[in-house]
Amino acid sequence: MTERNTVMDLPRIFTIRESNHRIHNPLTADKFAALGESLRLPAGTRVLDLASGSGEMLCTWARDLGFTGSGVDISTIFTEQAQARAAELGVADRVDFLHGDAAGHVTDQPVDLAACVGATWIGDGVAGTTELLQRSLRPGGMMLIGEPFWRQTPPDEETATACHATSIADFLLLPELIGQFRELGYDVVEMMLADQNSWDRYAAAQWLSMRRWLDENPDDELASEVREELTTEPAHYARYGREYLSWGVFALMKR
């Protein structure tokens, strides 16, 4: 849920906000567990997770469902956290995590499940990301795309930008997003959607991380930026993001 950085890492502000997140999107652990079960894939399923963050999805699915695979992420901090999480859950022999730019990353051998959960900027949008994932996917395999959509259409462009979009046109309503997948040649075969409570867990958890960081780093060059965000973002989120923006993970199979 951030923009690509040319220096092969995420901006520090992003890792400050989400330094204590295991999941860097608005799905909770129970929703990810339910999503994994819903896919009805066998143990041994090979996964590619592009923009894998701190690796929670791949690590827990390896532990609970017997999946194997690799994650790629541009954040050095999150990649290290993912590697540590794999060791903690006892699945480091089944999953691995690489620090690198997920944009353009294609596996040497086709996988059963190719995922980009919340970072379609790696393909310059949904269409390009599905094309990228398809290059690593075996025939008949399954794809996961995580993408924002409007819970309700913002009344004006000011509201859209308050939701951290550049314009209303950035996102679609849910039926239109599903229609976009159809137009790209995919069947939507499952989905797991964020709700306002899971959005709260994603957004509100950032505030305590920012406050703790400020207490520990009052003289850092980013301190004023973090202070401004912490001062304004809770009310901003409650007024705009919580009401207008939603998010989901969609399981796709090519027709």
Q: Which residue has the higher pLDDT, 137 or 14?
A: 137
CA atoms within 13 A on the CB side of 253: 8
Tell me how far apart the alpha carbons of residues 206 and 149 are, in angstroms, rounded to a whole number.
21
- The answer to the question of residue 23 being in a domain is yes
Token reading at 240: 């705009």
Query: Is pLDDT at 5 greater than 70 in this prediction?
Result: no
- The answer to the question of residue 5 being in a domain is no
Contacts of 149 (CB under 8 A, 6+ apart): 171, 172, 173, 174, 176, 177, 245, 246, 247, 248
Give the range of the structural domain holding residue 168, as residue numbers without chain letter: 12-254
Query: Is pLDDT at 7 greater than 50 in this prediction?
Result: no
Question: Residue 134: its pLDDT value, please?
Answer: 98
Question: Residues 96-126: pLDDT tens digits?
Answer: 999 999 998 999 999 999 999 999 999 999 9
- The answer to the question of residue 185 being in a domain is yes
Question: Residue 60: its pLDDT value, please?
Answer: 98
- The answer to the question of residue 86 being in a domain is yes
58 neighbors 79 (Cβ within 8 angstroms): no
List, in sequence order, the alpha helices (H) in the chain.
Answer: 12-17, 29-38, 56-65, 76-88, 126-134, 157-162, 174-183, 196-216, 223-236, 242-244
Instruction: Kindly state the average pLDDT of the residues 21-30.
Output: 95
DSSP helix/strand/coil, 238: helix
- The answer to the question of residue 190 being in a domain is yes
Task: Quote the radius of gyration of the chain (alpha carbons, Å).
Answer: 18
CA dihedral 234, 153, 185, 108 (to 10 degrees): -20
- The answer to the question of residue 166 being in a domain is yes
Question: Residue 65: its pLDDT value, please?
Answer: 98
Confidence of residue 9 (pLDDT cuts 50, 70, 90): confident
Query: Is pLDDT at 4 greater than 80 in this prediction?
Result: no
> Could you tell me the CATH number of the domain that includes residue 141?
3.40.50.150
- The answer to the question of residue 162 being in a domain is yes
Number of domains in the chain: 1
- The answer to the question of residue 241 being in a domain is yes
Question: Residue 206: its pLDDT value, please?
Answer: 96
Question: Residues 209-218: pLDDT tens digits?
Answer: 999 999 999 9
Question: Residues 62-95: pLDDT tens digits?
Answer: 999 999 999 999 999 999 999 999 999 999 999 9
